[in-house]
Structure 1
Amino acid sequence: MKSILIDLDGTLYHGNRMIQGADQFISQLRRDQIPYAYVTNNASRTPESVAAHLVGMGIEASGHEVCTSALAAAQYVAQQSPGARVFCIGETGLRQALVEAGLQLVQEHPDYVVQGIDRQFTYETLAAAMRWIREGAMFILTNPDLQLPSHDGLTPGAGTIGAAIEAASQVKPVVIGKPSSVLMNYALDRLNIRADEAMVVGDNMLTDIAAGAAAGCKTALVLSGVTTHANIEEHMRTAGVKPDLIFENLDELQDWIKEELK
């Protein structure tokens, strides 16, 4: 294991509250000079915004360490069709990623419909997306999360909007974020490492661990978020994979890494 791909919400923090040991875990990786990346399905924030959120909780971070589904989606489209015309359904993080990848944001006759979370999503946007996809635009979904945690409880995620567009257009999207391997492969390329040299750390069997397994990485489940002792067997059956390692918390994971380095 030469590097670590780390999930965020449920692994390092819950909302605006740092999970115990997250700051020490990252500090130890830095001291041991173990390459790592923060890998998140979040497509609404820029890497700099994600890093600022981490720093605000006391976790060391910088924008270049953050890999979002928005960045991976933008790269995916740009590699397939440099300079393509894109109808973007999303927020700042996605729009900025697409523009920085050299893609054109348009409202008419796009080559691609790229969709993430959009809290201003309307019926008119749904109708436009349906029309362009049925006319041949490729449908790209940044991440399939159906629900997102918030201070008011769960809210609809990008996957919920994507389900509406899929139902209207009758076309399945290309999924970029976890549990797809596309986001993980993007992060591996950023670190310039092979999949068999990396370990994916996350709290969710259905997304983090499934994506790590799909990419060919070693996987470590931390029981601090979505997957718990109560549902782990059900989640493993649903995901169709098992984590290589299971830890109660980040302290246990940190101790394991120390032993590996001896």
Structure 2
Amino acid sequence: MGRLDYPLVVFVAADFDGPAPHRPNPRGIELSTNNIRSWLTDMDGVLVHENKALPGAVELIQRWQARNTPFLVLTNNSIYTPRDLSARLRNSGLEVPEDRIWTSALATAAFLKDQTPAGKAFVIGEAGLTTAIHEAGFIMTDADPDYVVLGETRSYSFDAITRAIRLIGKGARFIATNPDATGPSAEGPLPATGAVAALIMRATNREPYIVGKPNPMMFRSALNKLGVHSEGTGMIGDRMDTDIVAGIEAGLHTVLVLSGIADRAEIERYPFRPKTVIDSVADLLE
């Protein structure tokens, strides 16, 4: 058998128009090498957990890199720049170049640049978001901005939130990087973008446009960055309500891993289904 140019992946035979080779494993999963040629993957719960690499993650990233498989690691976290996240993943044992990381901050900046090139924005967030918006050619100001952009930060300022409410009241369009209501900390949950967005929404009666998951916009912008088509791309995630639903809506082959948030009982709560369910990304290496 000749050398394979793309990785071993999981598939459902009904996805193919013609007959496909069958190699059922003990879990009843069928394996093929001729369907998925590019990958998007969530980070937390899929590749890492509490700053430790999950089973199969190191080997999967190495395989993709060795075979020049297009891939991006996605996260709704808008605090960190890709360089920061690359360093954090390296500390977990994963070598992921910064150009292989796609954040909700980058997706938001790409969306704003497409909507209003060289626009102005009042931004609440940290380096991951402010750097992305600056590099997209935006001016960050509180003087008659086109947008109020809300991201995640370790310490929300009441003064900044008040300013955002007043600017939205004067006509600035309201954008949020992601809908996550809380974020983790050593002491317990912290209020995150979704919670603060709800406060501003209640004060202004304006709903934000949310760019990050579960909006499939984030996946489409990732596909554009890779220069690939949804038909040959897989999405690996650990959440039914963000990764899987957004992957389905973006037309991707969805793979749910049970190494993070979701379990098999969780799947039954939703009217949609992932194409494939596996214990961890280690199953993609079999």
Short-chain TM bin: over 0.9
Whether the 8 Å contact between 1:15 and 1:149 is mirrored in structure 2 is: no
Whether the 8 Å contact between 1:10 and 1:225 is mirrored in structure 2 is: yes
SS at match of 2:163: helix
Give how far 1:154 is off: 2.4
RMSD: 1.2
2:274 aligned residue: 243
SS at match of 2:241: helix
Whether the 8 Å contact between 1:43 and 1:94 is mirrored in structure 2 is: yes
Where do 5+ consecutive residues of structure 2 fail to align?
1-35
Distance 2:247 2:186 in 1: 29
Change (3 A) 1:188 1:8: same
1:191 equivalenced with 2:201 (yes/no) = no
1:136 aligned residue: 171
| CA deviations over 1:86-130 (Å, ceiling 9, x no partner) | 000101100000101100000222110011112221222222111
1:43 equivalenced with 2:78 (yes/no) = yes
Count, aligned residues: 251
1:6 aligned residue: 41
Structure 1: which amino acid aligns with 2:139?
Answer: Q
Whether the 8 Å contact between 1:15 and 1:151 is mirrored in structure 2 is: no
**116, 126, 133: which is aligned to 1:98?**
133
> How high is the sequence identity, in percent, across the aligned residues?
37
1:222 equivalenced with 2:253 (yes/no) = no
Distance 2:144 2:50 in 1: 38
What is the correspondence of 1:1-262 to structure 2 with a 5 Å cutoff?
1-234=36-269, 237=270, 240-255=271-286
Give how far 1:241 is off: 2.3
Give how far 1:136 is off: 1.1
Give how far 1:152 is off: 2.8
| CA deviations over 1:8-53 (Å, ceiling 9, x no partner) | 0111111212212211111122223321111111111001111111
Whether the 8 Å contact between 2:144 and 2:167 is mirrored in structure 1 is: yes
1:258 aligned residue: none
Structure 2: which amino acid aligns with 1:51?
Answer: S
SS at match of 1:150: coil
Structure 2: which amino acid aligns with 1:164?
Answer: L
Structure 1: which amino acid aligns with 2:239?
Answer: N
| CA deviations over 1:191-237 (Å, ceiling 9, x no partner) | 10111111000111111111111111110000011111342322xx2
Distance 1:250 1:152 in 2: 30
Moved over 4 A (4+): none
More helix by share: 1
Give how far 1:187 is off: 0.6
TM-score by length of 2: 0.85
SS at match of 1:98: helix
